[in-house]
Structure 1
């Protein structure tokens, strides 16, 4: 899963995880756990959270199960990390990017959301806009879902996409 904060990726990831079933490995709670453990926020905890997510997903894949990584994945290096993980396990990788085409709705979602991640401070709208400006172009195929579309429809579309991807691998 990929997409800006509050675009709707966690909702799609959760729905997809229940439907498949597949383990959902979310980066934000991992980063928050590091902060709660006393790791200084000035340290590269974002990068560390991606590496911890990779380690967790590695264990899931080693069991022959599927994993959904719930992370912004804004840069090519992060996307390559997941490609390499899938390759090590000889499993297919499929990217799904969730966007919110209505910036007013996106901002409202961000400002109103409370995910209950202890110690995690939601980013500001300005921080999300900065991430948008830094978002690197995609180099491979992905499914793009607009969260303005209903969640159930997006989960179904994602399931169909993953089924096609699995058949082609």
Structure 2
């Protein structure tokens, strides 16, 4: 199964992805560390490294799916083209795709999380609150079947809800 996390930066996607991966014993392919690695390798920031990170994640996911492993893709996925990328990969590999959208319904808490988060990604600047809010329009009109998780609930409760949803998706 291909599990695609989606949601604004600092919404809680990665924390949930880590818990899902631990439960399912599967890989997480996270776009931000891939992009940071491209910069460390000397690829200039003036290059389309964000797009390249999605392409790298797709190719790595394809290899894991090909050998029968579940994969979690951890990325904002706010663009329809990104979501289509994962639908196409699922169709190509003839496997289910489960979209998990993570939202933080408390805007003040979401902003606090963004402004206080420190990730171990050398040279990777966190977006501003205005940049995060601007990305929210990418989710307007999104019609894929998906589970929407509110990160204001406990991580344990969200894990339970997500695993239940994934069992249903896997069952068909």
TM-score tier (shorter)? over 0.9
Cα offset, 1:136, TM superposition: 4.0
Say yes or no: does 1:65 pair with 2:69: yes
Q: In the alignment, what sits opposite 1:11? A: 15
Secondary structure of the residue that 1:94 maps to in structure 2? strand
Aligned positions of 1:101-120 closer than 5 A: 101-120=105-124
CA distance in 2, matches of 1:141, 1:135: 13
More strand by share: 2
Cα offset, 1:58, TM superposition: 0.8
Candidates 46, 49, 53, aligned match of 1:49: 53
Q: In the alignment, what sits opposite 1:130? A: 134
Matched residue count:
168
Cα offset, 1:129, TM superposition: 1.1
Give TM-score scaled by structure 1 length.
0.96
Please say which of residues 89-98 and 131-140 is displaced more in the overlay: 131-140
Asked if the contact 1:75/1:135 (under 8 Å) is kept, the reply is yes
Asked if the contact 1:75/1:136 (under 8 Å) is kept, the reply is no
CA distance in 2, matches of 1:144, 1:36: 34
Candidates 127, 139, 149, aligned match of 2:153: 149
Task: Please list every run of 5 or more consecutive structure 2 residues that lacks an aligned counterpart in the other structure.
Answer: none
CA distance in 1, matches of 2:15, 2:21: 10
Secondary structure of the residue that 2:90 maps to in structure 1? helix
Task: Please list every run of 5 or more consecutive structure 1 residues that lacks an aligned counterpart in the other structure.
Answer: none
Please say which of residues 26-35 and 80-89 is displaced more in the overlay: 80-89
Q: In the alignment, what sits opposite 1:38? A: 42
Deviation track 1:37-94 (CA, whole Å, cap 9, x = no partner) reads: 1212121111110000001111111110000000000011111111111111111001
CA distance in 1, matches of 2:168, 2:72: 16
